[in-house]
Amino acid sequence: MKPTLINLPKIVDPRGNLSFFENSHQVPFQIERTYWIYDVPGGEKRGSHAFKEQQEFIIALSGSFDVILHDGIEEQCFTLNRSYYGLYVPKMCWRRLDNFSTNSLALIVSDRMYSENDYIRDFEEFKKFKNEE
């Protein structure tokens, strides 16, 4: 499956809207881990790595930021700025989070526990891995 924006249910209510996702339903994998990125100082970037196996689903719960993906050949930029959709990021996709707005909150769910061994942190090494696929 390619990188895809996935719309989430939105229960519109005058008291405040509500959205959700459930294991394997809206998100195309079994969720194993949730983490979030917050208090990002202006001009900072996060990420700049790929995962050998891990898949992710990224949502801007608050504010906005860009997710820039590179498949080894070309770059694609997704701006996330609503909490009722998110971006599915498959494994072996170089990804960077950039242009965080003030007080933005990035929620990330993944199908794996944290493992440093799953990271590819060198772009040249990533491209080499891609060519071997």
Q: Contact positions toward ligand TYD, by CB under 6 A?
A: 33, 35, 46-47, 49, 114
Which residue sits closest to ligand TYD, CB atoms considered?
46
Choose between 47 and 86: whose C-beta lies nearer to ligand TYD: 47
Choose between 32 and 75: whose C-beta lies nearer to ligand TYD: 32
Q: Report CA torsion sign: 1, 30, 7, 100.
A: negative
User: How far apart are CB 35 and ligand TYD at their closest, in Å?
Assistant: 5
Choose between 47 and 88: whose C-beta lies nearer to ligand TYD: 47
CA–CA separation, 101 vs 17, rounded Å?
Answer: 22
Give the Å distances, CA to CA, from 98 to 9, 21, 22, 41, 60: 26, 24, 27, 11, 12
List residues with catalytic annotation: 49
User: How far apart are CB 114 and ligand TYD at their closest, in Å?
Assistant: 4
Residue 106: its H or E element = strand 105-110
User: How far apart are CB 107 and ligand TYD at their closest, in Å?
Assistant: 12
Q: Report CA torsion sign: 9, 71, 118, 121.
A: negative
The region that residue 63 occupies, defined by phi over 0 for left and psi between -120 and 50 for alpha, beta otherwise, is: left
Choose between 96 and 127: whose C-beta lies nearer to ligand TYD: 96
User: How far apart are CB 100 and ligand TYD at their closest, in Å?
Assistant: 11
- DSSP summary character for residue 26: T
